[in-house]
Amino acid sequence: MPGRGGLQDPPSGRPGGRRTSSGPWWKTDARTDPWRDPSSPAGLGAPAVYDEDQQPGPVVVDAQGRRKLRLRDVSVRLTTLAVLALLLVGVVAGGVGWYLTRTADETPLYTPGTTLAQIDPGAPKETGSVAEIAAAVTPAVVSIEVRVGQAGATGSGVVIDGDNGYIVTNNHVISGAADVEGAEIRAVFSDGSGSSARIVGRDPASDVAVIKVEKPGLVTATLGRSEDVVVGDPVVAIGSPLGLAGTVTSGIVSALDRPVRLSGEGSDTNAVISAVQTDAPINPGNSGGALVDGSGALVGINTAIASTGAGGSIGLGFAIPVDTVKRIAEQLISTGSVTHATLGVNARSVTDGARDGALVLNVEQGSAAARAGIRDEDIIIAVGDETVRSSEELVVAVDAHAPGDEVTVEFVRGGGESQKVQATLDPA
């Protein structure tokens, strides 16, 4: 208000009552204390002045009254020494890591005498939820990236020996990088980490291949047994279809011992497999991935699909049985190659309306078939205990044996009665 100094009276116009010296918070000098007398004149004084030698600026304390250390209170010399020490530690650590990666020897590519463990025969199939199976198996399934020049491809793989870094996949997934200068194969794990891989061995006649990474301690898949798989069993497929890593689909085993001819485009794969058929959705990129049963045990390696031409899943997928995968993988890990048995004939499927078989188109000179007396135009209808209804089944029946095995071959000649001969199989 004009003409008056100090603080204004309250809006009511009536000043509040003054406290007396008898008040517990009132001192005798209160009437002259400008902080307590609203009628005292107000004014700004000079800023605080600090002694820069004794106390440069106000003291900052915490809730307990202890002085806080500020960055500007630390000497420049001490800060410089700390930074240099950190840089030195970083340089030394980086140099040691680089040296070790440059000088560390790669582990041997082959491990002779390798035997892959399988679950006990007749182990009960305690079916778990798809979520439980996926959580247990996904860490053992990898994405495989192949790069040859400017071209690239993807597939899947399954860790079968985590201590030594062995991963099984399909031959057609990695064959493009075989014996090609500058080609790269990389395995990417479920945690997002990756590692370069070397080809241990590959088998175009079964479409099985093994690669090796230098990353010990990987989660290893549990191998089941083909004899325990029955039609109707629930199964889960895990892989990287269309490059989508860690994809999980489920279904059932819809057929067993399905002869399927494989001939990968752009690959040297030329195989006939006795496949596990499943309706679990499988798409390009699932190749080499896991097909597991309700207990999470591996029962097959996904390798092919039936398609109407669009290239996607129509509910008919095929996997290489786990017993075949185990047998081939052990040979590849031990020696890098696989030896198959052969009868020494070329054949095609035929039927006369009553009986199906494999018509012999020609017999190779000096082959097991020639030594056993099999001729052109004979129709083979059985090998050992296996019935043969097509040329694909003939290949599967012979391949179930090892070179040197003696088998009984049953055939029909000239429309007459069937005959049986003994043939000692040759190495392919």
DSSP 48: P
Q: Give the amino acid at 125.
A: K
Question: What type of residue sits at position 312?
Answer: G
Tokens at 378, concatenated:
């004979």
279 touches 313 (CB < 8 A) = no
Q: Are 222 and 297 in contact (CB under 8 A)?
A: yes
Name which of 292, 256, 294, 290 is nearest 124 in CA terms.
294
Segments of the chain scoring below 50 in pLDDT? 1, 21
Q: How far apart are CA 207 and CA 269, in angstroms?
A: 6
Q: Tell me which residue of 239, 253, 248 sits closest to 125, measured CA to CA.
A: 253
Helix or strand or coil: residue 199?
strand
Domain segments of the chain: what residues? Answer: 109-338, 341-427
Q: What is the pLDDT of residue 106?
A: 77
On whether the CB atoms of residues 261 and 272 are closer than 8 A, the answer is yes
Token couple for 421: 């001969």
At a CB cut-off of 8 Å and minimum separation 6, what does 289 contact? Answer: 141, 155, 156, 157, 158, 237, 238, 239, 240, 301, 302
| Token pair listed for 156 | 């899947």
The single residue listed with the structure tokens 């399927």 is 260
Write down the CATH superfamily of domain 341-427: PDZ domain (2.30.42.10)
pTM: 0.73
Q: What are phi and psi of 45, to 5 degrees?
A: -100, -175
pLDDT digits (tens, 9 = 90+) for 310-355: 667 788 999 999 999 999 999 999 999 999 999 999 999 998 766 7
Instruction: Give the span between the Cα atoms of 163 and 45, in whole angstroms.
Output: 79
State the pLDDT at residue 149.
87
What's the CA gap between 355 and 394, in Å, rounded? 15
Q: List active site positions.
A: 172, 207, 287
Four-point Cα dihedral 219, 157, 133, 327, nearest 10: -90
Name 161's Cβ contacts closer than 8 Å, sequence gap at least 6.
111, 114, 116, 220, 333
**What is the structure's pLDDT at 150?**
86
CA distances from 340 to 204, 220, 326, 369, 417 (A): 11, 27, 14, 15, 31
- What pLDDT shows up at residue 151? 87
**Contact (Cβ atoms closer than 8 angstroms) between residue 423 and residue 401:** no
- C-alpha span between 7 and 10 (Å, rounded): 9
Rounded CA-CA distance 127/67 in Å is: 65
> Look-up: residue for tokens 């420049």?
76
CATH class of segment(s) 109-338? mainly beta
| Half-sphere CA count of 362, side-chain side, radius 13 A | 3
Identify the pLDDT of residue 28: 62
Residue pair 217/162 in contact by the 8 Å Cβ criterion: yes
Q: Which residues lie closer than 8 Å to 244 by C-beta, 6 or more apart?
A: 285
Compute the distance between CA of residue 279 and CA of residue 300 in angstroms, rounded to an integer: 14
- At 30-69, the pLDDT tens digits run 556 655 555 656 666 666 665 555 555 555 566 666 665 5
3-state helix vs strand vs coil in the chain, percent to 5? 20, 30, 50
d(CA 32, CA 11): 24
In this structure, is the dihedral angle defined by the CA atoms of residues 36, 41, 42 and 48, taken in order, positive or negative?
negative
Q: What phi, psi does 396 have (nearest 5°)?
A: -65, -40
pLDDT at 108: 87
Segment 356-359 long-range contacts (CB within 8 Å, at least 24 positions apart): 356/381, 356/389, 356/390, 357/381, 357/388, 357/389, 357/390, 357/411, 357/412, 358/388, 358/390, 358/391, 358/393, 358/394, 359/391
Contact 421, 409 (CB under 8 A): yes
The widest CA-to-CA distance across the chain, in whole angstroms, is 138
Residue 359 CB-half CA count within 13 A: 11
